[in-house]
Amino acid sequence: MRGLRQRRRNRAAARALRPARMGLPDVLRVGAVGLRTRPLRAFLSALGIAIGIAAMVAVVGVSSSSRADLDRTLRALGTNVLTVSPGSTFAGEAAQLPLEAESMVDRIGPVSAVSAIGKVPDTAVYRNGKIPKVETNGLAAYAARTDLLKTVGAELRSGVWLHASTGRYPATVLGASAARRLGIGRIEPGTRVLIGHRMFTVVGVLEPAPLAPELDTAALVGWPAAASELGFDGHATVLYTRSDESSVEDVRAVLGTTANPKAPNEVDVSRPSDALAAQQAAGEAFTGLLLGLGAVALLVGGVGVANTMVISVLERRAEVGLRRSLGATRGQIRNQFLAESLLLSALGGVGGAVLGAAVTGGYAVYQGWPSVVPVWAVAGGVGATLVIGALAGLYPALRAARLSPTEALTAH
């Protein structure tokens, strides 16, 4: 009986000496002590994490903003534009579209609009007659139909477009790049350029044309004026068509045979919006490379956190020994340092996400894009920092937990 009472008293004493349990708020509060007592070291360690996260969020955000701008452009311009251009003959020579190609394509039922340009061969464009002939700047003269802008979705930056009257006289509308290379900003009265051997009056300048990039480096003149002033033979170089959205692929299948029934294999048919999408895909490959660099920066930041935590354990052995002497368990010591590592990483992750979003917004505003920062990128970035923080702090936390009170106090 006496032994039973003694065992009960021992169990009661053991329960009385059981260490108090620490809730999550207590663990976070204790873990934050190391950050508050060493603010500069904590800031520098969190900065490494923040740089990696900011790089990843900014790369994803800029890429998403660029894609959103492309989608907006395609919605505005339409994805139902198809182009027809001459290819090559079996002998490898440049082919030529028939003179009636434009009218034949216009007969296709689902086609709602057709327009064309025709390159004037051996005709360069200069600011004046004093420019050396070899310095063409890559500019060329094209005959253009009056309904070209509506068909390709291009817009004027300044001036007016060619119409039935100006199309018969030596007047020209310059593409965006052509105007810049010729040094023409605003159109002043009497502004002229040399096309071939004839001076043409500049009546308008185009905005960049995403669906017809060949217009950017062109000097466009009316079809009749190109024939009378520059000796244009009337053969179209590029036909532009718009079709019903639901019939684009059907139209695409018959465009070659319709434009040149005698030699359909000498006709190239393309969809300009596909080229823009391919360009975006190339940009996404580059984005993947930048994301890899951001991941490396994030890894370096994690190594910095691990280094900080190891040093923190070495410097705070006396604290660990004192807490163990006062009854703290190994698990509580482990949780303390693990919480410190997670808080350090979380500060870097949140700061990096905010910085990356700010960079994305600033760059999007500068480029005139819609600002898009995917939620998954921000959440994934912060989540990655927590994982890295847990991995970086695990070894130092376990090392601190293994210290015995006497060993820690004696080492101090």
Mean pLDDT of each 10-residue bin along the chain, 412 residues long: 62 55 73 78 81 83 81 72 85 85 92 94 88 81 94 91 91 95 86 92 92 92 94 93 84 90 88 61 58 70 75 76 77 84 87 91 90 85 84 81 70 52
394 and 314 housed in the same domain: yes
209 and 85 housed in the same domain: yes
The predicted pLDDT at position 231 comes to 92
The predicted pLDDT at position 403 comes to 75
Q: At what angle do helices 375-402 and 39-77 cross, to 10 degrees?
A: 160
Identify the domain boundary among 250, 271, 292: 271
Q: For every residue of 158-222, which 3-state class applies, written as one string?
A: EECCCCCCHHHCCEEEECHHHHHHCCCCCCCCCCEEEECCEEEEEEEEECCCCCCHHHHHEEEEE
247 and 106 housed in the same domain: yes
121 and 49 housed in the same domain: no
298 and 229 housed in the same domain: no
352 and 311 housed in the same domain: yes
**Domain of 371?**
23-73+278-411
Secondary structure of residue 341 in the 3-state scheme: helix
* Total domain count, the chain: 2
Residue 68 lies in a domain: yes
66 and 132 housed in the same domain: no
Q: For every residue of 19-81, which 3-state class applies, written as one string?
A: CCCCCHHHHHHHHCHHHHHCHHHHHHHHHHHHHHHHHHHHHHHHHHHHHHHHHHHHHHHCCCE
193 and 342 housed in the same domain: no
Identify the domain boundary among 271, 298, 318: 271
pLDDT tens, position by position, 202-211: 999 999 988 8
The predicted pLDDT at position 19 comes to 57
The predicted pLDDT at position 218 comes to 95
Identify the domain boundary among 271, 304, 324: 271
The predicted pLDDT at position 181 comes to 92
Residue 12 lies in a domain: no
The predicted pLDDT at position 230 comes to 94
The predicted pLDDT at position 362 comes to 93
Is 146 within 8 Å of 235 (Cβ atoms)? no
pLDDT tens, position by position, 17-53: 555 666 777 777 777 777 787 888 788 878 878 888 8
The predicted pLDDT at position 116 comes to 95
- The number of helix segments (H) and strand segments (E) in the chain equals 14, 11
Q: Which uninterrupted H or E stretch holds 243?
A: strand 238-243
265 and 361 housed in the same domain: no
pTM exceeding 0.85: no
